[in-house]
Structure 1
Amino acid sequence: MKKITDMLRCLSVFSLLVLTGCWSSHEIEELGLTFAMGIDKGSETALEKKFDKMGGDYPKKDRITMIYQYVNEQAAGSKASGGGGSPQKSYFNIYETGDSLQQISAEVALRLDRPIFSPHLKVIVVAGELLRTYSLEELLDQPLRDNEIRPSSLVLVTRGKAKDTLNLKETGEMPAFRLRKIVENEYKTKKVLPPVTLAKLTGKMRSGSSFLIQNVVGADGEVKYAGAAAINGKNNKLIGYLDEEDLEGVMWITGQGKGGAVKSYDTKAKKLNAFAVETINSNIKPVVKGGRLSFQVNVESEGHLAENWNTAEKAFDNKFLERVEKNTAQTVKKQMEQITKKMQRQYKADLAGFGNQLRIKHPRLWKKLKKNWDQTFTDIPIKYHVQITIKDYGTVGDQ
C-alpha cells in the first residue's frame, strides 16, 4: 500500500511539472508584433544622429536602413474601450540604420520595451535601388534563416523608397495588410503577379533563371502595385523595371492573368471598345527544326464586351463582334511583341518562362543551353497567335 501511495505522489509531482506551461513564454502585451519590414538604402534619421552624438553609436557602415512596422497597442486599446479623442494610426514605424539585419534588430531592442516579434510578418519591401549593389540573397539571408519569420511572408520590390510604401494617410488600416491583400485583386486585372513569398523566392534565386517580383510604389500616403522588377538569375540583382503594360504582356504570354480588360479601337468607326477577360489559355511551344530553335505561342481568351463607344453599332451583330475580336487580338499580340522586344534587346533576359518550357519539352537541348540561356534567348525567333472569343455583350443590346 505504501509503495502505491509513493507512486501516486511521484505521479502528482510529475503532473505539476508538466502543467507549468512553457518556461520561455511571453505575454502578448510584452511582444512587439511586427507585420511589415522595409529595407532602404542606408540613411540615418535625425533621431539616430542625435543618439550617436550622445554615445548611442556602435561600429557599423550605414549601408541599409530597416523599417519595422509595429502594432500601435494604444490605438488598439482605444478602439477596444470605445475611447474618444483624435484617432490614432493603428501602427508605427521604427527606423534603424546599419549593415547587419541581425545587429539592427538588436539595436531596436535598446530603444523599445517590446522587441521585434516577427512570426506574424506579412510583407517585406525591398528598395530596388539597393538591388543594383547587393543581391536579393544578401539582403534577405537573415529573414530566410530566421525561424521566427514565416516562409509565407510576401516579398515586394519598390522603385522608390520602402518607407513610402509602409505609410498610409488613413488611420484605421495597416499598410502591411493592404499590401498583402492587393494580391487578392488578381481576378480584376492582369497586372498583379502571382505572389512571391520567401519560400518561393528561395527556389527562384537558386534556379539560375531570371524572374519577376511585383513592384509597389508609395506616394502621399497611398500605395499602388505598379509593374514589376526584373531580377537577373545569375547574380539575383536588379536588371530593370517593367511598367504596367509590359507586365500585362508577360501575363498574356504565360497565361497567368485571371481578369482585366483589353482596350482596342474599332478600325471602321475609330471608336473605343473594351473586352473583359474571363479566361486565358497560353501554350508556349518550342520548335526545333534543322538545328534551329524557335518558339510559337498560342493564346486563347474568352470574355465579354464590357464597353462600346460606337453607339451606332448593334452589340449583337456578328460582323461587329468579329471586328472587335480581331482588334482585341491585334492589341494583345502587339503587347506581347513589345515586351518580347524589350526582353531580348533591352533587358537581355527571359522573363516569361520560355526556358522552362524548353526544359520540359526538350531536356537534352536545355542542358546544352541553360548555362548561357539569357544570352541565347536574345536571338531566338518567337511568333504569336491570338484567338479572342466574345461570349456575350452584357445587358445592353439593340435599344
Structure 2
Amino acid sequence: MKQLPNRIAVLIAVLVVLSQLMLAGCWSRREIEDLNIAVGMALDQAEGSKAEQKGKADGGNYPKENRYTSTYQVIPSLAQGKGQSGGGSTAQPKPYLNISETGSSIIQAVREVSLRTDRPLFGQHLKVIVVGESVASSSSLLESLDFILREQEIRPSVLVFISKGRARNTLELRDKTEIPAFRLHGIARNQYRSNRILPPVSLTALSGKLHSDNSFLLQSLVSEGGGVKFSGAGIIEGKTDKLIGFLNEQEVEGVTWISGKAKGGLVETFHEKTGRLIMYEMISMKSKIEPVVAGNRISFHVNIESTGRIAETSAEKEDAFKNAFLKRAEQATQKKVEQLVKQALDKMQKQSKVDVAGFGDELRIRYPQVWDNVKNDWDRTFSNVPITYNVKITVKEYGTKGVKKQ
C-alpha cells in the first residue's frame, strides 16, 4: 500500500481534529431544566408582593426606589414538576407560574428573581408584554420599556398591549388548562373575525412608533370574571409617548373603517320599517383617505367601500330575498357605519385631539412640503381640520341560504 507524504498526512489529521471540534454541539448550552422559560410579562406601578413584604419585615431588604412591579409568566420545567404526582392532592396544577418582583427598573426586577429562585429567567420565548394603565399614563413608554427595547434576549416579534387596570391581572385565568400569554397571543390573530381587534403591534413596530412622534393606538385588555377580553384601545400621544385615554370598542370599529385595516367583522343594524335585526358580515373593505390642500387650508375626504353578506336576520322570510329588502339592508348598514366613523372622529378631534387613524401619513405622502410646515404640531392642527366621508355598502349574498335576485 502506497503511503501518503508526511505533509498530507499531517494536514488530514488537523482537519479531522477541527471537524470534531465543530461537531461538539452547543458548547455554550443552557439546559432547559435549569431555566425559567418566560412566555409573558406584565409591567405595573410598584406594589410589593406578599413574599417581598414578608422578606422586608424579616430584614431581607435592599435599598431601592420602587417604581415598577414586573410579573413574569413562566412555564414550570420538568424538573420543577417532579414528585408532584401520586399520593396527596389530586387538584390539577396550573400550567404556568407568575413571578412578581419590584424594583427601580425592569432589569433590577429581573435580577431580583435570581435571589429567589435557582432558575434564571429566559426571555427568548416571550410572547406578550402587557403594560399597565398606571405605568403607561404616568411615564413615557420609551422610558419605561427602555430595557426591553435594548435586551437582545427578547425577540422583536413580542406583541405589546395596554391593560385597563393592573397588567398582572391579565396574566391570570380561572381555566387551569390554558396559559394566559398563549391565549392573548392567539386572540390577536382573530383580526379577520372582528373589526374590534387592532392589527397586532410587535416590539419592533412599537419602537418605530415611539420614535416617530406620531400618536398611535395599542390594543387594550380588560380582566373580567377570571378571563381576559380585548376591549378598545389605548391612545398613546406622540409628543409624550404616554397613555392619554382609551377608545371604546365602537370607537375602535370606527377607526378601522377609516383606516381600512379591518380584515373582517360585523355591523349590527335594524330594518328601518320593521325594526328587525340585520347582521352584516364584511367580506372585503377598502378605505382611501384623500387630503385636500387649498392654500393654507387642509381638509380630508374619506371614501369607504365594503362588500359583504347578510349573516343573520330576523326579517320575514318572504321579504328576505327581495331586492327591496337588500337595498334597505345596505342603507341601514351604511348609516350605522357612518355613525361609527363620526363617533371615532369626534373622539379623535374633539376629546383626545390626536390623529390615530393615519390622516397625517396621507398628508405627508401626498403633500410633503405642506406636511413639513405642520408636522411639529400636527395633533393640534388635526383637531381643527374639516373631514368629510362617504360610505358605500354592497350586499352580495346571504351565505349558503340564498342568492341576490337580479
State TM-score, norm by structure 2. Answer: 0.93
Flag structure 2 segments of 5+ consecutive residues without an equivalent.
none
2:218 is aligned, of 199, 213, 223, to: 213
1:275 is aligned, of 280, 289, 302, to: 280
Q: For residues 255-334 of structure 1, what are the structure 2 equivalents within 5 Å?
A: 255-311=260-316, 313-334=318-339
1:71 equivalent to 2:75? Answer yes
- Whole-angstrom distance in 1 between the partners of 2:342 and 2:111: 50
2:53 is aligned, of 31, 40, 49, to: 49
Residues 127 and 33 of structure 1: CA distance in aligned 2, closer, same or farther (over 3 Å): same
- Whole-angstrom distance in 2 between the partners of 1:327 and 1:188: 21
Residues 76 and 316 of structure 1: CA distance in aligned 2, closer, same or farther (over 3 Å): farther
Q: SS at the partner of 2:286?
A: strand
- Whole-angstrom distance in 2 between the partners of 1:346 and 1:392: 39
Letter in 1 for 2:124: P
Partner of 1:21: 25
Residues 6 and 320 of structure 1: CA distance in aligned 2, closer, same or farther (over 3 Å): closer
Q: For residues 163-202 of structure 1, what are the structure 2 equivalents within 5 Å?
A: 163-202=168-207
**What's the offset of the Cα at 1:17?**
3.5
**What's the offset of the Cα at 1:308?**
1.7
**What's the offset of the Cα at 1:220?**
3.0
Assess if the C-alpha contact under 8 Å between 1:164 and 1:219 holds in 2: no
Partner of 2:154: 149
1:246 is aligned, of 251, 259, 281, to: 251
Of stretches 365-374 and 13-22 in structure 1, the one that deviates more from structure 2 is 13-22
1:31 equivalent to 2:73? Answer no
Partner of 1:364: 369
- Whole-angstrom distance in 2 between the partners of 1:150 and 1:68: 15
Structure 1: which 4+ aligned runs deviate by more than 6 Å? 81-84
Assess if the C-alpha contact under 8 Å between 1:315 and 1:396 holds in 2: no
Aligned positions, number: 398
Assess if the C-alpha contact under 8 Å between 2:40 and 2:73 holds in 1: yes
Partner of 1:378: 383
- Whole-angstrom distance in 2 between the partners of 1:8 and 1:338: 77
**What's the offset of the Cα at 1:73?**
2.4
Letter in 1 for 2:72: Y
Identity percentage over the alignment?
46
Of stretches 259-268 and 201-210 in structure 1, the one that deviates more from structure 2 is 259-268
- Whole-angstrom distance in 2 between the partners of 1:384 and 1:75: 60
1:112 is aligned, of 110, 117, 130, to: 117
Partner of 1:58: 62
Note the alpha carbon deviations across 1:204-259, whole angstroms, 9 max, x for none: 11111100000011133201000100000111001100010000000000011111
- Whole-angstrom distance in 2 between the partners of 1:82 and 1:260: 48
Cα RMSD, aligned residues only:
2.3
Letter in 1 for 2:141: L
- Whole-angstrom distance in 2 between the partners of 1:363 and 1:73: 54
Q: SS at the partner of 1:321?
A: helix
- Whole-angstrom distance in 2 between the partners of 1:294 and 1:151: 37
**What's the offset of the Cα at 1:66?**
0.4
Letter in 1 for 2:246: Y
- Whole-angstrom distance in 2 between the partners of 1:54 and 1:285: 65
Residues 43 and 375 of structure 1: CA distance in aligned 2, closer, same or farther (over 3 Å): same
Assess if the C-alpha contact under 8 Å between 2:36 and 2:76 holds in 1: no
- Whole-angstrom distance in 1 between the partners of 2:335 and 2:396: 18
Q: For residues 222-233 of structure 1, what are the structure 2 equivalents within 5 Å?
A: 222-233=227-238
- Whole-angstrom distance in 1 between the partners of 2:107 and 2:400: 58
Partner of 1:203: 208
Residues 21 and 82 of structure 1: CA distance in aligned 2, closer, same or farther (over 3 Å): farther
Residues 274 and 11 of structure 1: CA distance in aligned 2, closer, same or farther (over 3 Å): closer
Assess if the C-alpha contact under 8 Å between 2:136 and 2:242 holds in 1: yes
Assess if the C-alpha contact under 8 Å between 2:64 and 2:104 holds in 1: yes
Flag structure 1 segments of 5+ consecutive residues without an equivalent.
none
Letter in 2 for 1:71: I
Note the alpha carbon deviations across 1:134-182, whole angstroms, 9 max, x for none: 1111111111111100000000000111111001111221111000000
Residues 396 and 76 of structure 1: CA distance in aligned 2, closer, same or farther (over 3 Å): farther
Q: For residues 89-100 of structure 1, what are the structure 2 equivalents within 5 Å?
A: 89-100=94-105
